[in-house]
Structures are given as C-alpha cells and as structure tokens.
Structure 1
Amino acid sequence: MDDLDRRIVGALLANPRATNAQISDAVFTSEATASRRVSRLIAEGAVRVIGVLDGEATARSRSLFVRLRCRPGDGNRSAQRLAAWPECGSVKLVTGSVDCVAEINYTSNDHLLAITLEQLPSLDGVLAVWSNQVVRRFATPHSWLPELLSEEIAAQLRSQRFDPWRDPLPGDLVRLDALDERIADALAGDGRLGWQQLADRCDASPVTVRRRAEAMFGSGALRMRAVVDPESVGLPVNAFISLSVNPTQLGRAGEMLAEHPSTLMISATTGDRNLCGEVALSSDAALYEFISSAIGGLPGLQHADVAVALRSVKRAGLLRDLAVKKPGAAVRLRG
C-alpha cells in the first residue's frame, strides 16, 4: 500500500460504511480517486468490510479464548483443524509457552462443556488446553484504529457512524425477525452495499431496509467492521497478551489498554489469566516499549505472558490458505 491507500484504510477502520465523499474529504483526494481506490483495495482482499451480529447484544453467543500446547511438529496441523470449526473466529500460531491461540464462540453451557472437555482435548497433537471465558469487553476489533489518520479526522469519521464502536454496548438484549436476519446476512457478505442493493437482496423497499439496519446499528445488534491484516498497514508484529491483574484494578487496567492505539482487542476473562487480548505493532522495539511501558505500567499487574504470532491461520472468520503458499507468492484468501 502507498500512503493514500493506508489513509483510506484508516478511514474505513474509523467508519466502515463511510461514503466515498466522506472518505475523500478525510484523506484529501477527489471522490473519484477515493471510489477507485476503495474498490481496488476491496477487490484485492487488502480490506474487507463486514457486518457482524453481536453475540452479546443478541444473546446468541459468548466468546472464549483458548491456548493450546501441541506436540512438536503438530502445531500447524492442529491450528488448521481448529480453524475449520465454524464457531472458531480466529486462530494464530505463536511463540512462547503455548503454540496456538484462538477465539471461539459458544452458544450455551452445554456447548462450552463440549468444546473444552471433549472437542479441544481430542484434537490430534494437542497436549494441553487453557481456556479463558470473556466476561467483559473493553475493546474489540470494531474500535481498532492504528495511527493512520489525525485524531481530529478519525473522530469526525467515527461521529458519522450509526453503530457503536466502543465497548461495552448500550441497551438491552435485541430480538431480530426474519427480515433483520436477511439484512445482517447480506451485510456480512458485503458491508458497503447501498440501500437499493440491500433492498434488492432482501426483497424489501430501500426505506424499510435502511430503517431496520439503522435500528440494529443503534442497538449494537449489528456492528460494522473493516478487516485488515495489520502487517499491510506497517504493523508486522502481532501478539496475544494474557495477564493476571489484581481484581480490584482489573477494570482500570482494561480501560488503559483499550485506549492504546496498538490494541486490537482486550477483555476481562475467567481462568488462569483475567485480562486477555491482541496487539499489533511496527517492530520488536515497539513491542518492547509496549511491554515495558503499557503493560508494565498497569495498576495491579501480577503476571504477564506475551506470545508473538508467527502465522495468522484465520482472522474474522476467514481462513488464510497458507498451505499452498510458495516463496514470493501472494497469500490467497478463501472464505
């Protein structure tokens, strides 16, 4: 990506459904150029814009972080098999005390029981499993915005959103009907569909689908997200952090990390670690600074484990088909 591409990606991260006119104003280019660049970036797979039904707001699912230790030589195979699970949203091969980390969605306690006590231990090559249930989200990928734009421009783009980008979400649980489901499914495939396009796919009028979509946006039931590989915007060092913090300081520590521009997500969890998340940085030096300052300066910190990602097998529900990658070849995405 060149500098203009990166600024356009920054605009899409700030407001995934920003119009081409809004993007052109934010990145100081013509609307025609912004439209052409956005189309190319999406067509090339450099960025995806998707709608996501929030499991918490709709009471459909909850999240679980898992860390796996595998037999030598089996880590990649175990990660690929885990990534094939439909309830698995992301999987990474990492360095450190574990070999693989993943985020899994579960729908009930019985589902969670099956995942943790049966399915994960039965994965070929897995020697040990640690699981951490998410109990409060401080930041999710919906709010991730690396320093690609000025704070003023980023704030302006965010103010134009209909959906909440901060966590926790406001309001009560939301119930959806069949039309809501069709709208959400269409936006999950292409989050930048216009109202007429969306209406055609959902067999309803543009006025109706817009009203329904904006109602879901406002409640937090449907949230928009631009999915970008951090490496493509100059952040090649991706790491999973799992921390132990004094419970009396847990909220403050989570809020501090949520405000850091390197944080993709951070949540309070149950289990052996009570604060888990993901960060993306520009270099090992930046990671050292993050560990020593951002993590080291957290109130109540008792233990910190940082596992650097070696390979992202799945991100935002999309498998990265790395098995066919040859030296010098581009990574092919398949969904």
Structure 2
Amino acid sequence: MQETVTPSELDLALVNALQLRPRAAWTELAPLLGVAASTLARRWDRLTGAGLAWVCAAPGREFSRGRATAFVLLRCRPGARSRLADRLSKFPETATVEVTGSGSADLLLDVLAPDLPSLSRFLTGTLDQLPGVTSVSSLFATSLYVEGSRWRLRSLDQSQLTALGNSASTAPESVHTRELDLVDHALLDELVRDGRVGLAELGQRTGTSPATVRRRLRRLTDSGILTFRCDVAAPLAGHPVPVSLLAQVPARDIGTVHRTLAATPECRLVAGVTGPANIFATLWVHDIGDIQRREAALCARVPTLTVTDRIVGLHTVKRMGHLLDHEGRRTGVIPISPW
C-alpha cells in the first residue's frame, strides 16, 4: 500500500527543478532549493514511493522521423471499456491508455513502434482482434512539435529558473545517430523504468563503463531520439482535465498553431497527423469550461484553424509505460520498447 504524502512547497519546487533537469545530481539542486542534498534525496524517495512523481526516458522530438507513432481512437461495446483498458495497458506498444468521456473515442491510445510494419501488425493483428472492440481509427504522426517532457509544474521563481536554465526549451541538435546496438537498447530498457539511475549503476547493469554510458546517453539525447521527463500524478498537478483536440489547418499555418500551443502552459503535446485532421494536441486544463476558452483563444489566434473533435479524458490508465491508479498515482511500469 502506498504511503499518503501531502506535498510541501519544497516538494513542488523539487519536481519543477527535475522537470527542467531530470537527471541533475542532488548536490547540483541543493544550493538552488536551499536545503541539503540528503534532504532532496529523502523527499524524492517519498514522492516516488507514493507514486506522485517519477523520472523516465521517453521518445524525443526526432522519434517520429525514423520510428512510428499513432494516436488510436478506439470504440468498444457497452460495458467493455474498463476491461479493454486494463488489457491494453499490458501491451508494451501502448505507451498511453486513456479512458475517455466524450468525442469520437471510448479509449484513446498512444501507440509506439520501431517502424511502420511493426505498427501495422499491432494495429491490424492485435487491436482489431480484441473482443469488444467495434472500431479502430488511427492517426499516424508525421511530426512531433511538443511532447510531454516540456510540461511544467511552475513552482520555481524566476531567479531559480534562470539559475537552472530551461534546457528542454532548446531543440535537439542535428546529430547523426547510427543504428542502435544492444548496449543502447539495454540502457533504454533500464531508463524507461527509472530515468535517474546513476551512470555507475547503469554501467554495471549493461556491462559497460560509466564513461561509455555518459557518451551514449549524450548521443541519444542530442539526436532527439531520447528525452527524459519528470512526470507527475494528478494530485500533484492539481487534478487537471486532459483534453485532446483534433484540428484542421492549412499547411502554411501549422507553424503558427505549433508556436501558439507551445506557449500555452496547459499544452502537453502537439503533433502533425494524417487524416482529415492534421493537428493532434493534448492540453491539461483546469476544468471542463476551460476547454472552450482555450479553443476560442486558439481559433482567434489562428482564424484558419477548425477544431473537429474534442476528446475528454476520464481516467489515464497508463502514461508512457507507467501504470496509474484511479487517483492518477503511479503503481507500476510496463516498459515501452519502441526503439
């Protein structure tokens, strides 16, 4: 049974700092937050033990160029939704599983695969065959403009933000990445479970040296194949309402949509997708009424944009491989392996 933890202001500041620097050493963060490194380590252990926050590896912005991502809108028979959500969460291909309450889907999935044939086999050979599924509609990601590692708790003051530096605001460099080898995959397998595992420990687990681990992680992150994210449970984030918008906009205005949404604190994800709608975006809004306000503000900024669907999340069963309970706290992990 998880410990009940009431987060303090220090806890919130710690999580915000790790959102900016997910693998920062406690000794780096201690002067900034005004406490001892041992205090930060102890606080982090309590937060992770309570399922309120965690750091993990996830696909970076360049993932969609060489691999395959699909946002899947799934319809099911009455009464089958909860059972299907639980079953779908067991597949490593389903990075995220969300039970929805409106829009064109009963379940919304984020499916990741190493390539298009692998993605196709999962969609047609697995999803289509599940009992209770009545329809499967897939939106293939063509570009990933904003992803979950950019969302912030916003608990630090400006001086602390300046001292940390928002490394996530800078786009990945153009670094050529060769085909991933066994060591790369072993590192990724460890880091999707716990993104704060130290270099020495990673070296032992993967049969290599800390220097090799450091070099490989730098290459994977600089290339945009890999990113690290500090994720939070719903109670820590203020119980936001997840809403995914499908929208259509002329190609010439996609950049404006991207920049507008990226500047919105509630934005979690923006992707270019195939199909009648060419934009898929996810926001964490304060309440149901905020959905219309955010949509109106977006359309005022981009008059050529038409929102075609609004999918409201009721319960996130799984997020980037991490299993969540009905309160949104992490209870376990089924590691993704899309690389």
Question: What corresponds to 1:263 in structure 2?
Answer: 267
Tell me, yes or no, if the aligned pair for 1:58 and 1:174 is still in contact at 8 Å.
no
Amino acid of the structure 2 residue aligned with 1:138: Y
Post-superposition shift, 1:49? 1.1
TM-aligned CA deviation for residue 217 of structure 1: 2.6
- Runs of 5+ consecutive residues of structure 2 not aligned to the other structure: 1-6, 334-339
- Taking the aligned partners of 1:305 and 1:58, their CA distance within structure 2 comes to 23
Does the alignment pair 1:293 with 2:293? Answer: no
The structure 2 residue matched to 1:318, chosen from 322, 325, 335, is 322
From 306, 331, 334, give the equivalent of 1:333. Answer: 331
Residue aligning to 1:27: 33
Q: Within 2, Cα distance between the matches of 1:231 and 1:239?
A: 17
Deviates more, 1:199-208 or 1:254-263: 199-208
Q: 1:188 maps to what in 2?
A: 192
- Aligned residue for 2:269, secondary structure, equals strand
CA contact (8 A) 1:89 1:317 kept: yes
Does the 8 Å CA contact 2:245/2:307 hold for their aligned counterparts? Answer: no
Cα deviation, residue 223, structure 1: 1.9
Deviation larger for 12-21 or 70-79: 70-79
Residue 102 of structure 2 is matched in structure 1 by 96
Q: What displacement does 1:20 show?
A: 1.3
1:84-123 correspondence to structure 2 within 5 Å:
84-97=90-103, 98-123=105-130
Q: What is the distance in 2 between the residues matched to 1:47 and 1:172?
A: 32
Across the aligned residues of Structure 1 and Structure 2, the Cα RMSD in angstroms comes to 2.7
Distance in 2, matches of 1:90 and 1:170, equals 28
| Range moving further from structure 2, 53-62 or 247-256 | 53-62
CA change 1:68–1:168 in 2 (3 A) is farther
Structure 1 residues 158 and 174, CA gap change in structure 2 (3 angstroms): farther
2:45 aligned residue (32, 39, 42): 39
Q: Give the counterpart of 1:221 among 217, 221, 225.
A: 225
CA distance in 1, matches of 2:188, 2:57: 7
Between 1 and 2, higher relative CO (CA 8 Å, sep ≥ 6) is seen in 2
Q: Is the 8 A contact 1:57 1:174 kept in 2?
A: no
Query: Matches of 1:242 and 1:167 in 2, distance apart?
Result: 25
CA distance in 2, matches of 1:286, 1:47: 25
Aligned twin of 2:252: 248
Q: Which residue among 13, 16, 24 is the counterpart of 2:19?
A: 13
Change in CA separation of 1:80 and 1:296 when aligned onto 2, cut-off 3 Å: farther
Give the structure 2 partner of residue 140 of structure 1: 147
Q: Secondary structure at the match of 1:84?
A: coil
Bigger drift between 76-85 and 136-145 goes to 76-85
What CA distance in whole angstroms lies between the structure 1 residues aligned with 2:221 and 2:177?
13
Task: Report how far residue 254 of structure 1 moved.
Answer: 1.9
How many percent of aligned residue pairs carry the same amino acid?
27
From the superposition, tell whether residues 221 and 24 of structure 1 become closer, same or farther in structure 2 (CA, over 3 Å): same
- Partners of 2:186 and 2:329 lie apart in 1 by 31
Per-residue deviation, 1:88: 0.6
4+ residue runs over 4 A deviation: 53-60, 164-169, 329-332
* Amino acid aligned to 1:105: L
Q: 1:104 aligns to what SS in structure 2?
A: strand
Report the residue type matching 2:79 in the other structure.
Answer: G
Shift of 1:109: 3.3
**Residue 302 and residue 286 in structure 1: after superposition, are their counterparts in 2 closer, same or farther (change >3 A)?**
closer
Shift of 1:308: 1.6
Question: TM-score, normalised to structure 2's length?
Answer: 0.85
Check whether the contact 1:235–1:283 (CA below 8 A) recurs between aligned residues: no
**Mapping for residues 269-280 of structure 1, pairs under 5 Å:** 269-280=273-284
Offset, 1:266 = 0.9
Q: Tell me what 1:325 maps to.
A: none
Which segment drifts farther, 183-192 or 255-264?
183-192
Checking the alignment, whether the CA contact within 8 Å between 2:202 and 2:213 is kept in structure 1 is yes
**CA-to-partner distance for each residue in 1:174-219, whole Å, 9 max, x for gaps?**
3333333333333233221222222222333323322332233322
Structure 1 residue 15, shift from structure 2 partner: 1.1
Q: What residue is the counterpart of 1:79 in the other structure? A: 85
Change (3 A) 1:209 1:120: closer
- Looking at structure 1, the residues matched to 177 and 221 of structure 2 have their Cα atoms a distance apart, in angstroms, of 13
Q: Which amino acid aligns with 1:41?
A: L
The aligned amino acid for 1:259 is A
Aligned position for 1:203: 207
- Find the aligned partners of 1:108 and 1:330 in 2 and give their Cα distance: 30
Report the more deviating stretch, 87-96 or 111-120.
111-120
Q: Structure 1 pair 175/110, CA: closer, same or farther in 2 (3 Å)? A: closer
Query: Structure 2: how far apart are the matches of 1:313 and 1:247?
Result: 34
In structure 2, the residue corresponding to 1:250 is in which secondary structure? helix
